């Protein structure tokens, strides 16, 4: 994993570890993460229950807010960064996300297809009426 | 017409099977002279051929210096160019992980628990779970998870492997 | 560049620039262990994604039984979410305490994490028991089977995490901040934060979306 010839230290950081050693900035990082997460959670709950937004947009809004909060967790709690010492961690995460997308998206797509192609006769007749 | 083709195919397969049997017979009959003791019977290019077969418990006595893709080939080329016996290697003691039956024991209890869950044998579920967790804790509590192979032992094993390899090379007429 | 590793995590193979080699050797144990556990966690998330996919496909199959909007109590969900979120924060505090080798604050932070986790489990267990009592258990419909499987699997993970947490507290109490115990604390922190990430997906997709439908 170390590839820089002149780098005498480990060129990587373990996932979950961070470079910062001083306590105060680390504490602040967690507090900010908590604050953002609470904000996003409250927003999610609000959006789900309110009449103030266009109803069909609620699922999209909830998914976006969830993804944002997962990002907040990854950055502030798990210290995943875009630095070169985090490359391996990000690569593994990206691959995991790819598989998750394929599994969930693929399953939904296939099942929707099956549902449509295998519609029971009475449902088809109902649609034609 | 089709049966002719099929028949020809069957005869071809039969010839193949005969060849297989002949190969087995010859290999078993000549096994002493054909035996390879170097771990590198085909003058390999990659690192897996750099160890004996079976390899020693520590795999490599010294961390290999990997340069380029065909690492072992490059090592051999460099050795030939330097035209030297390997200069006296600096053997260090090697830390090896200690063996433990924990995985096996834990899996036994987990299997017990799974079986009991299927058949609703609740007391066995609890027993299996406690057994698995207790094994986990006992394993976590051990103080020594490594043992050390002294440098002399590493050197002894490595030199034995090197000598065997050199003998095979010179017996084959040198390379 | 500052030292990238936590204090005291010596590398037994001595490749941290202590010898004058022109190239570095293998990564330290902390990195290897942490990365290995990270990969395991990603595989765990893939497993959860399978349960999510099953739930998404079956969420409409209520077999005449209750729908999500009829059985979900969002107040409880909000409290559960708050508990888990705070527990992630306190777990971070425990990580900091471990890095500066402060036993007292480590145990305090872990204890608070444990209490919050147990609170989450208590509320979830009560919810499940209530549903079963109202003939809305996992065998009532495909939707409920998928719901109980997904959320129950997450709850099992939290339970296992609590047991692991208590074991880590005991280990630090008995043996202090040894290098291998620090590595285990790192893995535990990764595990606990990952569980919270999965819960974000659960409460958004299962509870909030299910209630809006």
Instruction: Tell how far CA C59 is from the center of its chain.
Output: 25
Residue B55 is encoded by which pair of tokens?
């390899």
Q: Percent of chain B scored above 90 by pLDDT? A: 47
Residue-wise pLDDT for A6-23, tens only, equals 344 678 899 999 988 899
Q: Do C12 and B95 touch (CB under 8 A)?
A: yes
Q: Is the pLDDT of residue B68 over 50?
A: yes
Nearest Cα to B140, choosing from C170, A44, A99?
A: C170
Nearest chain A residue (CA) to C213: A59
Residue-wise pLDDT for C184-208, tens only, equals 999 999 999 999 999 999 999 999 9
Top pLDDT among A67 and B174 is at A67
Asked if B60 contacts B43 with a C-beta cutoff of 8 angstroms, the reply is no
> What is the model's pTM?
0.83
> What ipTM does this complex have?
0.86
Q: Do C95 and A13 touch (CB under 8 A)?
A: no
Q: Is the pLDDT of residue A129 over 60?
A: yes
Lowest mean pLDDT among B55-59, C130-134, C173-177: B55-59
- Please give the Cα distance from A3 to A11 (Å, whole number): 7
Around Cβ B93, how many Cβ atoms within 10 Å?
A: 12
Around Cβ C141, how many Cβ atoms within 10 Å?
A: 19
Q: Is the pLDDT of residue B66 over 70?
A: yes
Q: Is the pLDDT of residue C6 over 50?
A: no
Residue-wise pLDDT for B77-87, tens only, equals 877 776 655 56
Q: Is residue C171 within 8 angstroms of chain B, CB to CB?
A: yes
Nearest Cα to C164, choosing from C133, C137, C186?
A: C186
Q: Which chains have at least 3 CB atom pairs separated by less than 8 Å from chain C?
A: A, B
Nearest Cα to A6, choosing from B78, B71, B90, C1?
A: C1
Q: Which chains have at least 3 CB atom pairs separated by less than 8 Å from chain A?
A: C
Nearest chain C residue (CA) to B130: C163
Around Cβ C206, how many Cβ atoms within 10 Å?
A: 22
Chains A and B touch (3+ CB pairs under 8 A): no
Angstrom CA distances, A103 to A95, A99, C50, C56, C196, stand at: 12, 6, 7, 11, 21
Give the helix/strand (H/E) hosting B63. none
- Please give the Cα distance from C46 to C194 (Å, whole number): 12
Q: Which of C5, C17, C45 sits opposite A96 (nearest CB)?
A: C45
**Residue A44 pLDDT level (bands cut at 50, 70, 90):** very high
Nearest chain C residue (CA) to B92: C13
Q: Which of C28, C35, C204 sits opposite A65 (nearest CB)?
A: C204
Residue C197: Cβ-neighbour burial (10 angstroms; 0-12, 13-18, 19+): buried
Among C10, C11, C13, C183, the strongest candidate for a mutation testing the B interface, having the largest count of B CBs within 10 A, is C13
Nearest Cα to C48, choosing from C156, C209, C127, C186?
A: C156
């Amino acid at each position: 994993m170390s590839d820089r010839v002149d780098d005498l230290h480990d060129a990587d950081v373990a996932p979950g570890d961070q470079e910062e050693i001083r306590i105060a900035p680390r504490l602040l990082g967690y507090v900010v993460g908590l604050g953002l997460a609470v904000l996003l959670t409250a927003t999610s709950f609000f959006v789900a229950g309110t009449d103030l937004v266009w109803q069909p947009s609620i699922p999209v809004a909830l998914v976006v807010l969830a993804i944002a909060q997962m990002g907040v967790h990854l950055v502030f709690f798990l210290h995943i960064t875009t630095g070169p010492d985090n490359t391996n961690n990000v690569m593994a995460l990206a691959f995991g996300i790819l598989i998750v997308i394929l599994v969930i998206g693929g399953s939904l797509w296939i099942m929707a297809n099956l549902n449509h192609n295998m519609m029971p006769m009475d449902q088809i007749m109902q649609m034609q009426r | 017409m089709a049966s002719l083709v099929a028949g020809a195919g069957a005869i071809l397969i039969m010839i193949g099977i005969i060849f297989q049997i002949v190969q087995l017979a010859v290999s078993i009959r000549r096994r002493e002279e054909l035996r390879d003791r170097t771990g590198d019977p085909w003058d390999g290019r990659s690192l897996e051929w750099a160890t004996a077969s079976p390899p020693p418990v520590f795999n490599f006595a010294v961390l290999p210096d990997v340069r380029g893709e065909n690492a072992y080939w490059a090592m051999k080329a460099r050795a030939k160019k330097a035209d030297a016996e390997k200069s006296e290697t600096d053997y260090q003691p090697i830390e090896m992980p200690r063996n433990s039956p924990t995985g096996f024991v834990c899996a036994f209890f987990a299997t017990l628990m799974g079986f009991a869950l299927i058949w609703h044998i609740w007391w066995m579920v609890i027993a299996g779970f406690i057994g698995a967790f207790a094994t986990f804790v006992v394993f976590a509590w051990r103080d020594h998870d490594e043992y050390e192979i002294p440098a002399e032992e590493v050197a002894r094993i490595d030199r034995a492997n090197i000598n065997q390899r050199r003998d095979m090379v010179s017996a084959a007429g040198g390379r | 560049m500052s030292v990238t590793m936590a204090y005291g995590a010596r590398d037994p193979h001595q490749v941290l620039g202590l010898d004058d080699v022109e190239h570095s050797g293998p990564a330290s144990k902390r990195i290897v262990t942490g990365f290995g556990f990270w990969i395991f966690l990603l595989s765990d998330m893939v497993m959860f994604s399978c349960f999510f996919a099953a739930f998404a496909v079956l969420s409409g199959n209520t077999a005449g039984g209750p729908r999500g909007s009829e059985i979900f109590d969002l107040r409880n969900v909000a409290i559960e979410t708050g508990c888990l979120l705070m527990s992630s924060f306190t777990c971070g505090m425990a990580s900091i305490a471990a890095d500066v080798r402060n036993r007292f604050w480590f145990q305090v932070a872990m204890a608070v994490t444990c209490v919050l986790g147990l609170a989450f489990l208590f509320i979830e267990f009560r919810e499940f028991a209530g549903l079963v009592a109202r003939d809305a258990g996992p065998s009532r419909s495909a939707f409920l089977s998928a719901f109980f499987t997904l959320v129950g699997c997450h709850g099992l993970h939290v339970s296992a995490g609590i047991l692991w947490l208590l074991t880590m507290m005991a280990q630090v109490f008995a043996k202090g901040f040894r290098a291998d115990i620090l590595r285990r604390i790192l893995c535990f922190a990764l595990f606990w934060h990952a569980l919270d990430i999965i819960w974000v997906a659960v409460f958004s997709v299962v509870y909030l979306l299910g209630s809006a439908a």
